[in-house]
Amino acid sequence: MLSDEELQMYMKVGKLLAEVRELVRPFVKVGAKLVEIAEMTEDLIRQKGAKPAFPCNVSVNEVAAHYSPPATDDTVIKEGDMVKVDIGAHLDGYIADTAFTVATGGGAEMVQVVERALEAAINAVKPGTDVGEIGKAVEETAVAAGLKPVRNLTGHSLGQWNLHAGITVPNVNEQTGQKLSIGDVVALEPFVTDGAGYVEDQKKVYIFRYLRDMPTRLRMSRELLRHVKREYNELPFAERWLAKRMSKLRLELTLRELAGVGALWPYYVLAERAKGKVAQVEHTVIVTEQGCEVITR
């Protein structure tokens, strides 16, 4: 259960994040630079008095998630690209999480399908629901349109300073035994694709999260670890956010060492196995007696 104060924090952060999303949406178009979309989004979150809960993800086409452009990325959106923008904000650790997809070419139908899947997911939420019922609603919507849900990407519950608070919400029909309760805060995020319906880890990593203090060989690694622990707690951060602290080469070396010793969790870029295009939308909801309240509407 949530206290009234906690509920107010969630409503407030959800509302401001929804405003940011709608401000950013018109800038996601052909010719726009990915890194500028990410920076604009994060700046707007800060201007509204919150902090990014994780780096803005701008994932294009078969890249499904976890791509937050590094400072040196000069990629621009091309005609026909399917662009997913996934954003999060927090107030004192209370997190809202939302995402949208822009199809700059012929992909509008896929975006409509994933939007319908999200509405079906929202409609399936009520206290006592097995989260598999939500996955069933997503899968049926995707399959009826000739598409596939991405089986190994899921929604998740949220807690204070915690982006994944223990409940996993599948995007396919499966019995999980996990049931929703009043006051649960849950990010619902269907992904649909015209590919195989699976994502795979890529080699690249641009997002990390503090895990634990560990001894390191390099002094700059120790210093960076102390910095990210203090600044971001256990929420994810971007390589880009650290780009001003040291050269790109040193930064990559340092992050690699810290991930290697288990001090940081690396979020590998996730791409669709068959290189299918992927569309995603996301809202954060709070489970109520009757169903749920969408805080990022």
Q: Is 42 a catalytic residue?
A: no
Strands of the sheet with 155-157, listed across from one edge: 168-169, 155-157, 185-188, 283-287, 292-294
Q: Is 164 a catalytic residue?
A: yes
Q: Which of 62, 189, 194, 239 is catalytic?
A: 189
d(CA 2, CA 184): 8
Q: Is 194 a catalytic residue?
A: no
Q: Select the residue interacting with Mn ion from 117, 118, 187, 192 (CB under 5 A).
A: 187
Q: Is 97 a catalytic residue?
A: yes
3-state secondary structure of 33: strand
DSSP state of 160: T
35 binds Mn ion (CB under 5 A): no
Shortest distance in whole angstroms from residue 190 CB to Mn ion? 11
Q: How far is CA 132 from its chain centroid?
A: 20
Q: Which of 42, 86, 133, 194 is catalytic?
A: 86
d(CA 251, CA 21): 30
- Which run of H or E residues covers position 20? helix 4-24
Q: Is 130 a catalytic residue?
A: no
Minimum CB distance to Mn ion smaller for 99 or for 110: 99
Interacting residues of 195 by C-beta distance below 8 A, sequence separation 6+: 62, 148, 272, 273, 274, 275, 276, 277, 278
How many residues bind Mn ion (CB under 5 A)? The answer is 6
* Stretch binding Mn ion (CB under 5 A), from 9-17, 93-101, 215-223, 249-257: 93-101
* Interaction pattern, residues 192-231, with Mn ion; x per rule: CB under 5 A: ----------------------------------------
Shortest distance in whole angstroms from residue 191 CB to Mn ion? 11
d(CA 26, CA 185): 28
Contact predicate 98/87, CB 8 Å? yes
Q: Which of 43, 164, 213, 231 is catalytic?
A: 164
257 binds Mn ion (CB under 5 A): no
d(CA 19, CA 269): 27
97 binds Mn ion (CB under 5 A): yes
* Stretch binding Mn ion (CB under 5 A), from 32-40, 99-107, 133-141, 262-270: 99-107
Q: Select the residue interacting with Mn ion from 86, 184, 194, 257 (CB under 5 A).
A: 86
Q: Is 66 a catalytic residue?
A: no
What residue ranges bind Mn ion (CB under 5 A)? 86, 97, 99, 187, 189, 282
Q: Which residues are catalytic?
A: 86, 97, 156, 164, 189, 282
